[in-house]
Amino acid sequence: MRNDGKFEVTLDQRKLKTPNGNVFRVPSESLARAVATEWDSQKEKIELGTMFLTGLCSTAIDNPGNLTKYQLVDHIIKFINTDTILFFSEEEDELYDLQKKEWLPIIKWACQRYEINIKPSHSIQEPDISLQDREAIRKHFLSYDQWSLNGFSYAVDTLKSVFLTLACSERLVDVDRAVYLSRLEEEYQCRFWGRVEWAHDADHHQTIARFAASILFIHLSSASHLSQKKKCSKAEEMLMP
């Protein structure tokens, strides 16, 4: 149901509301349909803990922490210094070679894409990230609206990686690949020491579900926003002498 340029979700002819009692209004029809599908997939017992899109929308609407767009970006940027793929281990040659093979292409892509010069750490010390590089990434995130930034924040929290989240959001890698790369050392160690199947699988599937929901949320939230930006850009080009 469309209302004032946003889309509402109805369940049994009643408007869905957030935990704070706000009417559930989202920025795109696709996102509204995705949330409705999430509710339709629930069985006899409603498990809100598995409804990640609903949770993300509720957070964006209620904004329980009263966070501004700039505070959300600051939260995301904090993860750069501890980004999963910026810590290489030279203690084991095979693991080190695997990290170089799998992570370096992502780092090189990020450097080209955002015009930065990021180098990984080869110790427990955090990588040296310049203020200029940090501001370049910050500027990129600020190009998104607050809805999309909630998705980015959730995604980065899930993988503990800004650069894997960016790579997935820009379709360089898919969700499964991004999750695998974020758990590279764990997957490597499991080859030698084995794994507790049910515990490992449950955690793995939970991570995929959380991250997939956040990436979908970003795309569905920013679709109309990016479309509007493209229209503005085209209009600006037409006005240029």
Measured CA to CA, the distance from residue 149 to residue 146 in angstroms comes to: 5
| Residue 107 sits in the same domain as residue 195 | yes
The answer to whether 88 touches 96, Cβ cutoff 8 Å, is: yes
Residue in 156, 207, 198, 153 with CA at minimum distance from that of residue 180: 207
Q: How many CB atoms lie within 10 A of CB 8?
A: 16
| Residue 113 sits in the same domain as residue 231 | yes
Measured CA to CA, the distance from residue 153 to residue 165 in angstroms comes to: 9
| pLDDT in the model for residue 1 | 59
| Residue 58 sits in the same domain as residue 37 | yes
| Residue 7 sits in the same domain as residue 86 | no
| pLDDT in the model for residue 240 | 35
The answer to whether 6 touches 27, Cβ cutoff 8 Å, is: yes
| Residue 11 sits in the same domain as residue 88 | no
Q: Please, which residues have CB within 8 angstroms of residue 35's CB and are 6 or more apart in sequence?
A: 9, 16, 24, 26, 53, 54, 57
| pLDDT in the model for residue 183 | 95
| Domain's final residue, options 10, 45, 62 | 62
Q: How far apart are the first and last CA of the chain?
A: 43
Q: In which domain, by residue range, is 55 found?
A: 2-62
| pLDDT in the model for residue 177 | 98
Q: What is the pLDDT along the chain (241 residues), one digit of tens a residue?
A: 566 678 998 888 889 999 999 999 999 999 999 999 999 888 778 888 889 999 999 999 999 999 999 999 999 999 999 999 999 998 889 999 999 999 999 999 999 999 999 999 998 899 999 999 999 999 999 999 999 999 999 999 999 999 999 999 999 999 999 999 999 998 888 776 665 565 567 788 999 999 999 999 999 998 644 444 443 334 333 333 3
Residue in 88, 45, 30 with CA at minimum distance from that of residue 221: 30
| pLDDT in the model for residue 194 | 60
| Residue 171 sits in the same domain as residue 214 | yes
User: Structurally, how many domains does the chain consist of?
Assistant: 2
| Residue 196 sits in the same domain as residue 113 | yes
Output the CA torsion sign for 182, 184, 189, 191.
positive
CATH number for the domain harbouring residue 36: 3.30.2180.10
CATH number for the domain harbouring residue 79: 1.10.3580.10
Q: What is the dihedral of CA 179, 153, 212, 86, to 10 degrees?
A: -20
| pLDDT in the model for residue 225 | 47
| Domain's final residue, options 12, 27, 62 | 62
| Residue 43 sits in the same domain as residue 9 | yes
| Residue 105 sits in the same domain as residue 7 | no
Measured CA to CA, the distance from residue 81 to residue 162 in angstroms comes to: 10
H helices of the chain, where? 29-40, 52-62, 69-77, 93-114, 131-142, 146-159, 162-169, 175-182, 184-193, 197-239
Measured CA to CA, the distance from residue 87 to residue 47 in angstroms comes to: 36
| Residue 22 sits in the same domain as residue 131 | no
| Residue 44 sits in the same domain as residue 77 | no
| Domain's final residue, options 62, 80, 98 | 62
- Prediction pTM value: 0.87
| pLDDT in the model for residue 92 | 87
| pLDDT in the model for residue 222 | 81
| Residue 91 sits in the same domain as residue 54 | no
